[in-house]
Structure 1
Amino acid sequence: MSYGALSGIRVLDLTQMLAGPYGTMMLADHGAEVIKIEPPHGDMTRASGPWFEDDTRRSHGGYFQSVNRNKRSVVLDLKSEDGRQAFLRLVEKADVVVENFRLGVMEKLGLGYETLSAINPKLVYGCLRGFGDSRTGKSPYADWPAFDVVAQAMGGIIGITGPDADTPIKIGPGVGDIIPGMHLAFGILTALHHARETGVGQLVDVAMADSVLATCERMVYQHSISGHVAGPEGNRHPFLCPFGVFPASDGFVTIAAPSQQMFETLCDSLDCPDIKADPRFADPALRGQQQDALVAALSAVTSAFSKADLARRLGGEVPFGPVLRADEIAADPHFAAREMLADVEQPGFDRPLTIAGVPVKLTRTPGGVKRRGPFLGEDTAAVLADAGLRHPQNLK
């Protein structure tokens, strides 16, 4: 049964690991038919956990399930002539091909953009690499392989993250993969719109380093305007205060109250008239200049309250949020109401696996997590038969 706004779009997904699969997952979550084309040994993440403690089958680790839900799996050996011909046959009826191989790999296989677009002129061809494709701008690093941490480093985000100016720190989640994956999904949809209007497809090129830099946009204009070279800023904003992380008796919370009205409301809600009346903190500009003193004063107040106490005092009054751990997120009513914790079938178990849900909500054509990640090659026979290939068992 079809669902979602992207129902009717067919995507041939050659991507592996996180960045590319995250982008195609976004398309699948909203109804696109995403056919994951895997080599005989499967996506590298199939061998990655974590696993349930008693999982002896180990076919569906958390990593694979999270970003490959809602997809189908077809096994083709693109290094063989049979596998290559089968793929070319699938391209004839596809709307999109997506890959995240190193530069030149698809050309060596005889499956480069020019070859595929000659077969299907409406085809949108998405590619994602560390430093982009030479067709849109040849990087001196074009041949360098890259993972998340490399993109985070060279795109600038590590350089502005950390507790102090001397300690750059990698962002916890794989934003060097996930943000490029998001940009890839957006680029594919823009190119699909153009293809449907004109009948002409195109190449969509996303460089992981570029995507991370775009996320760090503030440091770019700061340098342009004043020559300022941004560094790690700890848990604060470079010129707004209070705006950051503050201690509670049982953890931490975030508070953002930079305007005069918000600051006064914050002080009233925390019963600290002395901070409100302190001439050092009389206006937003002064508070930005006196961050050390203001953060210390407010921290002394907030640390006397629990996260729940602070939520009762500040929630709905000023921009505020507790720093939640995974167990607290699992129990929080917001994420339940928003269906952001989705259960999928875990093969071999009566209990499901919980993964992150779909954050983009549509009222008329809602997406969702409809299906677990596929077994390796689970859909090979059906997909190839649909393409008129009657002997998929010969395609090794």
Structure 2
Amino acid sequence: MAALHSLPAPIFARLARNAAAALLILGALAACLPAQALRIKEVASVAGARSNKLTGYGLVVGLDGTGDQTTQMPITTQSLNNYLQQLGITLPTASLSQLQLKNVAAVMVTAEMPAFAQPGQTIDINVSSVGNAKSLKGGTLVITPLRGVDGEVYALAQGNVVIAGAGAAAGGSKVQINHLSAGRIPGGAQIERTIPTPLLEGASINLDLDSTDFQTARRVAQVINTRIGPGTARALDGRTVQVQAPQDANLRVNFLAELEEMPLELSAPAARVVVNARTGSVVLNQAVTLGPCAIAHGNLAITISSTPVISQPGAFSQGQTVLTQKTDIQIRQEPGTLLTLPPAPQLADVVRALNSLGATPQDLLAILQAIKAAGALNAELEVI
């Protein structure tokens, strides 16, 4: 700053004018920049390019005495016997009931097979106990086939179970951190079979919107037709947009890559208030408005307290000391003040108006339902 002030007045004035002009240019550029627009890939997905659920049943071995209690879980003993028979080991039937497999646990294995997964690729799996095992920590999942809904085997799972937790018990006391009966095996399953996809079939592809909205479907079709050409896309309904695509596989992949990156300006979402009845959470989106209304809200509190009272008999009366309870009941009703809420066209005004009630989140659930019933809440009320 001292160096600037030491400059001659004409030079300093010229620099000031240039700085002011630069600020005006930056402001104009900022005004010309588009608002944060969504891309098509963030509101829609390509039909057929989806993941598939896999599941299987297996055994976790190598536990430190925290496995299933076989007397209460005969399925574990039977599963181990079937597995040993596959390896050529046959146990006498009489000895099966005497096995104490404290180091073995029966588990369910679940995984999600991504789209276009090829044989040899690996995916993560989740391992969850189905018996009364205390912990799966330190165990190893033996080879387990993972099947789809069609019953076919699409992957094979095996590996060491990773559990981010610990626990200890002694003398009737128990300490546990996190959940010990479920874990994860990173890259624990290997793909053995591909799932065919209709992505490269036909002369067109379908874009499935994440939510049903006719306005969004129309705008997606308009953006594609503007960027690529008229007649390329058309909205079939409020959730599906059909797009003409090249037949060649390489050209279709490039076409979809460019399609997903197209910017999309969307209108304001439908006004909605989401209420979680279990936690008392209330979430409002920016389209929620509030009409004029008057609200009276008060609380009724009932307090019941018991005080122990000892009745001591008189001397030489041969009576007995008796412990009784004295119960005191108090009823307190707070006055319900009638508050007038002005119209609130903006979300900040709605929040300010609701905060003026001074109600707890649980009370706010009932208040919002009453405002909606009175027709003053211009939003859809959804209770989850």
With structure 2 as the length reference, what TM-score do the two structures score? 0.22
Higher relative contact order (CA 8 A, sep 6+): 1
> Which has more strand, going by share of residues?
2
With structure 1 as the length reference, what TM-score do the two structures score? 0.21
